[in-house]
């Protein structure tokens, strides 16, 4: 929850100020009344300006809050792009000979069993090569005698 603008405090302050201005000090001299009236009108104008500013600022803050909320929900709802990329082994393979460059419909392999065996041994070779590559990486230098 973001900290709310101190709207109540501002309104209270404005109300208090207005209250004070509605009951101005009664000047004993009648000539001062017009001056007081002018000062009061100027204060009222200032207060209305302040009210307008406060309203505008709070509206902007509400807009920003809504914007942030909508962005947060949008980012949460965004799909993960990693799931769209299929792994290499998942691509279409021929169901007869297991070769990956064609489908069974277009299979022209004369000996599918031999082809399957060949592909299987190739995959095993690749796998073991990958395994040795990953296990060969953490090689430590021989311990030096102190």
Give the binding-site size for Zn ion (rule: CB under 5 A): 6
Region 17-76 residues binding Zn ion, contact defined as CB under 5 A: none
Q: What is the 3-state secondary structure (H, E, C) of the chain?
A: CCCCCCHHHHHHHHHHHHHHHHCCCCCCCCCHHHHHHHHHHHHHHHHHHHHHHHHHHHHHHHHHHHHHHHHHHHHHHCCCHHHHCCCHHHCCCCCCCCCCCCCHHHCCCCCHHHHHHHHHHHHHHHHHHHHHHHHHCCCCCCCCCC
The smaller minimum CB distance to Zn ion, of residues 11 and 111, is found at 111
Does the protein bind Zn ion through residue 109 (CB under 5 A)?
Answer: yes
Region 81-100 residues binding Zn ion, contact defined as CB under 5 A: 94, 96-97, 99
Among 107, 116, 118, 119, binds Zn ion (CB under 5 A): 107
The least distance separating Zn ion from the CB of residue 110, rounded to whole angstroms, comes to 10
The smaller minimum CB distance to Zn ion, of residues 9 and 105, is found at 105
User: Interface with Zn ion by CB under 5 A: which residues?
Assistant: 94, 96-97, 99, 107, 109
């Amino acid at each position: 929850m973001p900290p709310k603008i101190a709207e109540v405090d501002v309104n209270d302050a404005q109300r208090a100020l207005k209250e004070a201005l509605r009951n101005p000090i009664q000047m004993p001299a009648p000539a001062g009344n017009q001056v007081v009236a002018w000062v009061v009108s100027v204060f009222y104008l200032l207060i209305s300006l302040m009210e307008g500013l406060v309203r505008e600022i709070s509206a902007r803050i509400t807009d920003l809050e809504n914007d942030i909320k909508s962005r947060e929900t949008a980012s949460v709802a965004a799909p993960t792009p990693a799931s769209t990329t299929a792994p290499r082994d998942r691509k279409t393979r021929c169901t007869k000979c297991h070769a990956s460059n064609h489908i069974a419909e277009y299979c022209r392999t004369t000996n599918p069993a031999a082809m399957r065996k060949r592909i299987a041994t190739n995959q095993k070779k690749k796998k073991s090569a990958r395994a040795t590559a990953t296990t060969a990486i953490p090689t430590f230098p021989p311990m030096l005698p102190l």
